[in-house]
Amino acid sequence: MSAREPSSELRAIHELARLVRETVHPPTAAALDRGLSLLTARVALVRVRRPKVAYWSLLAVVAAACAWLGVQATSLFLGSPTEVPALVYHVEGGSLLAGGYLRDSGEDGVRLIFDDGTKVELLAGAHGRLRTVDKEGTRVVVDQGTASFDVARTKDRRWFVEAGPFSVAVKGTFFSVSWEPASELFELRLQHGRVIVSGPIAGGEIELRGGQRLVVNLPKAETLISETPFDAFAAPSSSVPALPSAALALSAPASSVLEKVPSAVVAAASAKTERKPSWSEYLAHGHWDRILAEAEERGIDTTLSTASSDELFALADAARYRRRSDLARDALLAQRRRFSGTARSLDAAFLLGRVEESHDRARALIWYDEYLTRAPTGSYAAEAWGRKVVLTNELKGREFAQPIAEEYLRRFPDGSYARAVRALCAEP
Amino acid sequence: MSKRLSPVSLSLVAGANRRDVSDVELAHGLAAGDAWAIGVAWYRFAPMVLTLAERSLGSRSDAEDLAQDVFLNVFRSKKTLREPEKLRSFIYSLAIFTLKTELRRRKVRGWLSFLTPEALVELSSRTVDVESRDLLRRFYALLDRLSPRDRLIFSLRELESMTVDEIAEVTGTSVSTVKRSLGHAVTRLSRWILADADLADVFDTRRWQR
């Protein structure tokens, strides 16, 4: 190790620390308001419980071994409303990771089923967390995408759904919530029941009743409430909950307003808008340059931070086909960052390997390893194994490539690389 | 004979200007369980706690959770505050304690979990570019590998720019322990940065220009 190296690493540490300091900004007034309302509610609960806690603490000192049974027995006898047992739940279609993060195992989203009949579903591509489940209630966070909630009606439990700067207090309802952090668009569709939405909106709080839809566009400071047709719930918007063009026209720019818009007006006006082909459709027809041109028109940074998963994938493909490796790499990295945990994110790892092969083969090998670790039976697994054999042979030699080649043949005896791999294994 | 005013009436009359009260008055308000005191304490000290937590944990949502726990603890342990003029230090110490507990909890969860999630960086800035976000994600992934104590001390030194003496005071450890932890953290981070080709490359080739 040379004498200069340590200072280089220290400089990296200082630069990274500086980046963190510059990146983290003080909380906004809206965030503080939201935090205080939550804190006040929790403090109120502490106040209600305090005498009971003190009593049992004293009893625990006197008879520690009997305290727990004593609490249970007394609670049952008194029928205290604060001693509601915590909910039991299970996860379908995915798993619960550290920190409460929900990861889907396929492309059908992930569902949380509670024993009181409540169902929470994160639709495909959505990211969310189960933050707390306790006697006070349940808090679910929608970090990105759309989630639907069918909350059972109980008088003792409180449900909170948080999406970006918005907080939804729930009691016995069926609704869906969408939040797109990049474009700061929030949407709530309430089929029945009643919810209270708080956040950076006019008046700080909005109460919605069954059949209403709330859309908030934070960058444009637009808030819209409309009556939602019930068939709209059959297919909630899956990713970017953009305001309908008609609704945008009806809401006042640069000010937060509430507009009651009849759904028929919105639907009729929306129908008049000619539908533009999606980037996936452009890609299917080989119109790569149109995709690239539209991305540049929007601004590459904006596209990377706001485009949907479909669009990012189409952009990455178009960029690869036009040999714009940097753009392809950025689009795939954005795919992985913004839609991590999805099948597309895994595919992006493989495609990053393909992009890197023409620039940095060692880096490409790392991406293939990443893909095979995360998706050992994924749709690109055979291709990734094959490329790994080839690159390992080129970079490290046959000695290192041979075990990987044997593993490839064991897994994919009829794979497209089988002949080349057999030839490698047969070499003396 | 003068008429004695009830505390409730005083609270209502003075409610509009509560944000101007001193820390000592605020501490007395908290100790008395006054409703206004919770709000004033929150608006006065929550930004400090939220920023500390967000920088240390790399997540705004987790920082908000931690701030809730800190202020709930402030409310619960308000009677243990013996020096009202040190309310800010009291809350900061509780924040450090809660942060340390959270880092330990994360570490234990990491050991118990079969699947280690990718570092989830979710900071509050809206202006960070793609490259910076990627760097931050890598940086927090490295921080996740440090022990809770080393990470906390490193965060206080490098992210909060505290002196070694200040760190020793707020964490309740000796100066030598702080220095040892800091050295340990920096050594390990340096080694990991060297091993991370992308990170090392960014700084070595001076592509990182801000």
- Give residue A47's pLDDT band: very low, low, confident or very high (50, 70, 90): low
Task: Please identify among residues 287-326 of chain A the ones whose CB lies closer than 8 Å to any CB of chain B.
Answer: 301, 304-305
Q: What is the pLDDT of residues A343-383, one digit of tens each?
A: 788 888 888 988 888 888 888 888 988 888 887 777 778 88
Architecture of the B21-116 domain: Orthogonal Bundle (1.10)
B51 contact A CB<8A: yes
* Mean pLDDT to the nearest integer, B87-99: 91
Mean pLDDT of B121-144: 70
Q: What is the pLDDT of residue B96?
A: 94
The mean per-residue pLDDT over the stretch A24-40 comes to 80
Count interface pairs A-B at CB distance under 8 A. 145
For chain A, which domains are there? 29-78 (no CATH), 89-272 (2.60.120.1440), 277-337 (no CATH), 340-428 (1.25.40.10)
DSSP H stretches of helix in B15-86: 23-31, 35-57, 60-76
**H helix runs in A63-88, sequence order:** 64-78
A72-86 pLDDT, tens digit per residue, is 555 555 544 444 556
Q: In 3D, which of B69, B128, B122 has the Cα closest to residue B97?
A: B69
Q: How many CB atoms lie within 10 A of CB A232?
A: 16
Is pLDDT at A249 greater than 70 in this prediction?
Answer: no
Lowest model confidence (mean pLDDT) among A234-248, A273-287, B76-90: A234-248
Residue that wins the pLDDT comparison between A294 and A275: A294
C-alpha dihedral over B85, B89, B93, B96, to 10 degrees? 150
Residue A5 has pLDDT above 60, yes or no: no
Contact: A13, B72; criterion CB under 8 Å: no
* % of chain B with per-residue pLDDT over 90: 33
For residue A386, pLDDT over 90 is answered with no
Greater confidence, A278 or B176? B176
Of A15, A98, A103, Cβ closest to residue B110 = A98
Using pLDDT thresholds of 50, 70 and 90, give the confidence band for residue B153.
very high
Residue B205 is predicted with a pLDDT of 53
Burial class (CB in 10 A: 0-12, 13-18, 19+), B176: exposed
Mean pLDDT of A176-193: 84
A299 has pLDDT over 80: yes
Tell me if residue A95 falls in helix, strand or coil. Answer: strand
- Distances, alpha carbon A49 to alpha carbons A84, A173, A255, B174, in Å: 13, 28, 43, 38
Please state whether beta strands A205-209 and A212-217 pair in parallel, antiparallel, or not at all (unpaired): unpaired
When pLDDT is cut at 50, 70 and 90, the band that residue A397 belongs to is confident
Residue of B nearest to A103 (CA): B117
Lowest mean pLDDT among A32-46, A409-423, B101-115, B193-207: B193-207
Split at pLDDT 50, 70, 90, the class of B116 is very low
Is A174 an 8 Å CB contact of chain B? Answer: no
The pairing of strands A119-122 and A127-134 is unpaired
Which of A99, A169, A102 lies closest to A137, judged by CA? Answer: A169
User: Candidates 1.10.10.10, 1.10.40.30, 1.10.540.10, 2.70.70.10; correct CATH number of B118-210?
Assistant: 1.10.10.10
User: Where along chain B do the CATH 1.10.10.10 domains lie?
Assistant: 118-210
pLDDT, residue B156, reads: 94
Give yes or no for B194 touching A (CB within 8 A). Answer: yes
Where do we find the tokens 């604060």? A82
What is the Cα–Cα distance from A375 to A124, expressed in whole angstroms? 17
Lowest mean pLDDT among A26-40, A197-211, B169-183: A197-211
ipTM of the complex: 0.82
Residue limits of CATH 1.10.1740.10 in chain B: 21-116
Question: What does the pLDDT average to over A231-247?
Answer: 39
Least confident range of A137-141, A332-336, A384-388: A137-141
Cβ of B72 under 8 Å from any chain A Cβ? yes
The better pLDDT of the pair A329, A283 is held by A329
